[in-house]
Amino acid sequence: MAESEEEDAEAWLRLKPVEPLPSQCCGSGCSPCVFDLYYRDLERWETARARNDRSLLSGKQPPESQGCSAKLSPETFLAFHISTMEKVTKDTYLVRFTLPGNSRLGLHPGQHLILRGVVDGLEIQRAYTPISPVTAEGYFDILIKCYQTGLMSRYVESWRTGDTAFWRGPFGSFSYEPKKHGELLMLAAGTGLAPMVPILQSITDNEDDETFVTLVGCFKTFEGIYLKTFFQEQARFWNVRTFFVLSQEVSPEQLPWSYRDKTHFGRLGQELVAELVACCRRKPFTLVCGSPAFNEDMARCLLSAGLTEDSYFLF
């Protein structure tokens, strides 16, 4: 092979897309996934090389090529500045990101974004659902729980006000439609509360949406309940009921009086799920969000309570 041909071959290899690491997939079934983007770019690269036409690669953009003024995209990571970072529990943060001017993020209630982080040279991606109202202008809020051994947790805990984080989206196969369901039953464990917040907010912000909502938040302790003020404000609406299930509390006397009649102790199981379904005014459509084990357990409980697979959604 002539020297010029060798140089040309090396140049093409440098342009070849790099296959993502498993850590770069958030595991949430997003479309397009990072692997979808990789195979698309690989096909584009193979076509361009076969034709010896590098202009065919022009559609590919580097992840960091878009700044804070760009429109949200499922394919390209965009930079957003952190304006505030509040520690709401010992291991959970409420982080506010800035949007240009009075612009909106453009998500439908229940949709999520993908965050990209880099720790020790390893790129990781995770899915998070904004809890700010879809009508919020100039910002969006994310609730993030950190774990001692989590790589993304290490990345998040390194953030400071003014730092930049990269997001892409929106994603999510569930999108709330006003008045489609007569009643919603929401079962959320921990930060699984996140997709429920904008959905509930969109209902109570819409005077024409008379959907009944029963929101059940599962936490370890009373102190660990996220967004207590939000719960209190929403429970004032005529069509909203809120309940709590606390796995590590044992005595109602330790709770504020306003929580005692709507708090259950232990874990959310078959008997309580059946009771919640039965006390709904009509057959509910149920939204479930928590750990994979929680979602699987709730699906089993809902089926045992008489619901069908098309009457619930697992985030």
Binding site: what residues are annotated? 126, 128, 143, 145, 152-153
Which own/partner contact pairs does 41-45 have at CB distance under 8 Å and 24+ positions apart? 41/17, 42/16, 42/17, 45/12, 45/15, 45/16, 45/17
Give the separation between CA 217 and CA 41, rounded to whole angstroms: 42
**Residue list for the binding site for FAD:** 126, 128, 143, 145, 152-153
- Give the H/E segment covering residue 17: none
Tokens of 121: 């040279």
